[in-house]
Chains A and B, each alone.
Chain A
Amino acid sequence: AQTVTQSQPEMSVQEAETVTLSCTYDTSENNYYLFWYKQPPSRQMILVIRQEAYKQQNATENRFSVNFQKAAKSFSLKISDSQLGDTAMYFCAFISWTGNQFYFGTGTSLTVIP
């Protein structure tokens, strides 16, 4: 069974600063994908970044980057130059190589303070 754990229910960061959200997961599979999704008050889940487990290079998307530690089963999200629009729930998610469903963590509520 796959499990995803986010141990930080709430976080805050000053505008323009950097923040890191943590995620750990448990799986017996070797090939899988990891994601960070953002859910603003509008409720729509928006893909932030994805990482293939077989790629050692950490994924980056503009101000968003990940620190993927496969052996430790850790997948943290770093947001640089935080903006007010980054305020949202952030969910870490996992899918297996052959999977058709996401396994989500419980989320981290991020507030960017002006």
Chain B
Amino acid sequence: DAGVTQSPTHLIKTRGQQVTLRCSPISGHKSVSWYQQVLGQGPQFIFQYYEKEERGRGNFPDRFSARQFPNYSSELNVNALLLGDSALYLCASSLEGGLMNTEAFFGQGTRLTVV
């Protein structure tokens, strides 16, 4: 059974460009969350989607947006890239939106470098 898959694994973008990151959750999981992990820091929450609706948003600017598709896969979009957006972007999937009674499984992340 496939785990959480993220694509691409690495990419390099120029300041001001836009980027789209993709995440496929574990089969049967209806919730997808996105985290940003800057080098040397712990992951920071960006968004959670459950049943295709936004259920939570972290303290990130409006340049960050996301959506979840009918098949529960998700995309994270970042516009007008800044050097500070360089980070590992992690996707996590879970059966339900609340994380108390369900385990979250993480993908291997997308390493974004902005030059």
Contacts and interface: CB of A to CB of B under 8 A. Distances in A.
Interface of A: 4, 33, 42-47, 91, 93, 95, 97-107
B106 A100 contact: no
A35 to B, nearest CB: 9
B49 to A, nearest CB: 10
Contacts of A103: 45
Contacts, number: 62
Contacts of B99: 33, 95, 99-102
A99 B56 CA distance: 9
Interface residues of B, number: 29
B40 interface: yes
Nearest to B9: A43
Contact of A98 (B42, B50, B98, B108): B98
A72 to B, nearest CB: 21
Contact of B42 (A43, A46, A95, A106): A106
Given A4-B42, A47-B103, A91-B42, A101 B33 contact: yes
Contact of A44 (B33, B43, B45, B107): B107
Given A47-B104, A101-B33, 13 more contacts: A91-B42, A91-B43, A93-B42, A98-B100, A99-B99, A100-B31, A100-B55, A100-B56, A100-B97, A101-B48, A101-B99, A102-B99, A107-B41
Nearest to B90: A45
Given A33-B99, A99-B99, A100-B56, A44 B42 contact: no
Given A43-B109, A45-B106, A102 B45 contact: yes
